């Protein structure tokens, strides 16, 4: 059988240039243009990487048109329904669902890395109380490389594994510390008898002066939020982690880079932005005004929590998140939440309005996760921190896959240069 190829004719010149077409196990084929520059002296131009596969990966598959999300082949709906977060972590990291013994061992190893070096607590006091917790996360996670030197040698598989477990285990502790610092309460140490999600709620909401019992419905909701955010293929923050890691930087520094990227409102910051938008709208009768603004080309306003670069159908995670959101509101007895009323009406309008239908702008996961996290008791500034906590495993799995790929090279995109051409320096007195 002849190998499929793509032919490129430049300006009618012959011969044509021929490139291999690579087939994945599912999803679009890709044209391998790695030799394009050598063959033609030209680069490709694709701002925002809308048509560019930056790597080969076996971790996550998304079909944005059909609204499908698979981790290692397993649909996100099934993982969120039947599994827990640490099982999803194991799957992302090692490629298979764990056996009972493997799961117990993994849970034990993660659970016994939950404490952070006591000296790290001093970092927090260096930040202003009103600092955004994502700013604190960027700093403290980056600083982990200053504490855990014994797991920064990326050429050693054992050190890579220890660094991975440390980050998955310590991220909830650091996130909870960022929260406690933010609200002016003492840090709460992890409790290893609790599940990953329950432990996180405990570290956030327990106080030394009274007992705190984790509500299992809320712990399950937290678990779901973590599973739904665990990985999402080559998004901006994951690509940032890969690019940072491609230079050989240590994993703690790479994850700090991912956190910085995630902070932006077009990415992980959207859940915070969505809730702020619901507050700004204020009441259901003001929705049409905001819908008009979202459609107005001359107004930069966008409906936060709507639209996705990849999903041009209902985000499968948003469906599960919507259900979880209602479970949490039911459990907490929140019936008449004005923000929820606005959210439901916005959703209804956006799903029936010609503009949103034509542009395939469906509610995304951030739309519902914001409302759920607010009901769980988190301030909006913590929303993106929780996203970072959950996404850490995805970043690590993708980083690990890249490091273990023998074809891996430093990431180094090229450019279309449109600046000034050569000119001679003019002394300041003559300008
Ligand atoms: N509200 C109103 N119009 C929108 C929106 C929106 N939320 N999103 C996209 N559009 C319009 C946009 O104006 C453009 O219109 P036109 O074709 O007339 O110029 C068209 O839809 C395509 O938009 P785009 O910006 O070219 O699409 P993109 O793939 O570059 O952007 C996005 C994707 C997520 C950045 C964008 O939809 C957006 O800004 N949404 C709001 C922020 C948000 O909710 N982000 C969370 C993403 S999901 C979480 C994650 O994975 O990080």
Instruction: Give the DSSP letter string of 138-201.
Output: HHHHHHGGGT-GGG--TT-HHHHHHHHHHHHHHHHHHHHHHHHHHHT-------TTS-HHHHHH
Confidence at residue 7, expressed as pLDDT on a 0 to 100 scale: 93
Q: Which residue has the tokens 């204020």?
A: 282
Confidence at residue 99, expressed as pLDDT on a 0 to 100 scale: 98
- Concerning whether 337 is annotated as a catalytic residue, the answer is no
pLDDT tens for 5-14 read 999 999 887 7
**Cis amide linkage into residue 15, ω under 30° from 0:** yes
Spans of the chain below 70 pLDDT: 1
Token readout for 228 is: 């739904």
CA distance 370 to 382: 10
8 Å CB contact between 251 and 245? yes
Q: Which residue has the tokens 């859940």?
A: 271
Query: Which residue has a Cα nearest atom 21 of ligand 1?
Result: 359
Q: Which residue has the tokens 């970072």?
A: 388
User: How far does the centroid of ligand 1 lie from the alpha carbon of residue 51, in Å?
Assistant: 17
Percentages (nearest 5) of helix, strand, coil residues in the chain: 55, 5, 40
User: How far does the centroid of ligand 1 lie from the alpha carbon of residue 308, in Å?
Assistant: 6
CA distance 388 to 372: 16
Residue 231, SS3? coil
CA distance 316 to 68: 6
Q: Which of 51, 233, 302 to probe ligand 1 with, by most ligand atoms within 8 A of CB?
A: 302
| CB-based burial label for 416 (10 Å; 0-12, 13-18, 19+) | exposed
Residue-wise DSSP of 34-90: TTHHHHHS-----GGGTT---S--SSEEEETTTTEEEETTEEHHHHHHH--HHHHHH
Token readout for 136 is: 């604190």
Cβ-Cβ contacts under 8 Å for 155 (sequence gap 6 or more): none
8 Å CB contact between 86 and 103? yes
Find out whether the beta carbon of 290 lies less than 6 Å from any atom of ligand 1.
Answer: no
Find out whether the beta carbon of 262 lies less than 6 Å from any atom of ligand 1.
Answer: no
Left (φ > 0), alpha (ψ -120 to 50) or beta: where does 247 sit? alpha
Find out whether the beta carbon of 258 lies less than 6 Å from any atom of ligand 1.
Answer: no
Cβ-Cβ contacts under 8 Å for 140 (sequence gap 6 or more): 120, 123, 124, 174, 177, 178
CA distance 194 to 15: 66
* CA distance to 168, 183, 186, 210, per residue, from 70 (Å): 21, 37, 40, 42
Q: Which of 84, 231, 315, 366 is catalytic?
A: 366
Left (φ > 0), alpha (ψ -120 to 50) or beta: where does 176 sit? alpha
Q: What atom of ligand 1 comes closest to residue 294's alpha carbon?
A: 2
- Concerning whether 366 is annotated as a catalytic residue, the answer is yes
Q: Enumerate the β-bridge partners of residue 19.
A: 6
**What is the 3-class SS of 384-396, one letter each residue?**
HHHHHHHHHHHHH
8 Å CB contact between 79 and 91? yes
Find out whether the beta carbon of 275 lies less than 6 Å from any atom of ligand 1.
Answer: no
Token readout for 311 is: 């999903």
8 Å CB contact between 383 and 369? yes
């Amino acid at each position: 059988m002849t190998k499929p190829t793509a032919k490129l004719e430049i300006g009618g010149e012959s011969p044509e240039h021929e490139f291999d077409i690579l087939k994945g196990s599912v999803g679009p084929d890709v044209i391998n243009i790695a030799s394009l520059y050598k063959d033609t002296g030209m680069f490709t131009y694709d701002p925002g990487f809308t048509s560019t596969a930056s790597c080969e990966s076996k971790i996550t598959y998304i079909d944005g048109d059909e609204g499908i999300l698979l981790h290692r082949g397993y649909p996100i709906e099934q993982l969120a329904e039947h599994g827990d977060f640490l099982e999803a972590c194991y799957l992302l990291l090692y490629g298979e669902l764990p056996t009972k013994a493997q799961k117990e061992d993994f849970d034990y190893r993660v659970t016994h890395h939950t404490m952070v070096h006591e000296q790290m607590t001093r970092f927090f006091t260096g930040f202003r109380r009103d600092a955004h917790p994502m700013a604190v996360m960027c700093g403290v996670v980056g600083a982990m490389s200053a504490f855990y030197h014994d797991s920064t040698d990326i050429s050693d598989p054992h050190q890579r594994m220890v660094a991975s477990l440390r980050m998955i285990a310590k991220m909830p502790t650091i996130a909870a510390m960022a929260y406690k610092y933010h609200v002016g309460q003492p840090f709460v140490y992890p409790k290893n008898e609790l599940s990953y999600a329950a432990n996180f709620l405990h570290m956030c909401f327990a106080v030394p002066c009274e007992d705190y019992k984790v509500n299992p419905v809320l712990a399950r909701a937290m678990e779901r939020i973590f599973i739904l955010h665990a990985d999402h293929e080559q998004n901006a923050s994951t690509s940032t982690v890969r690019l940072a890691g491609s230079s050989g930087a240590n994993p703690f520094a790479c994850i700090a880079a991912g956190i910085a990227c995630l902070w932006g409102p077009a990415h992980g910051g959207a859940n915070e932005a969505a809730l702020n938008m619901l507050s700004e709208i204020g009441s259901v009768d003001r929705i049409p005004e905001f819908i008009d603004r979202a459609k107005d080309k001359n107004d930069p306003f966008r409906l936060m929590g709507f639209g996705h670069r990849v999903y041009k159908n209902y985000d499968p995670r948003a469906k599960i998140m919507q259900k979880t959101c209602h479970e949490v509101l039911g459990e907490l007895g929140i019936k008449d939440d004005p923000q929820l009323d606005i959210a439901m009406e916005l959703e209804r309008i956006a799903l029936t309005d010609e503009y949103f239908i034509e542009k395939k702008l469906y509610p995304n996961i951030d739309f519902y996760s914001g409302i759920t996290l607010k009901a769980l008791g988190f301030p909006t500034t913590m929303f993106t921190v929780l996203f970072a906590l959950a996404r850490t495993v995805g970043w690590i799995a993708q980083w690990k896959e890249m490091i273990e790929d023998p074809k891996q090279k430093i990431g180094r995109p090229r450019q279309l240069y449109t600046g000034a051409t050569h000119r001679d320096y003019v002394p300041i007195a003559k300008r």
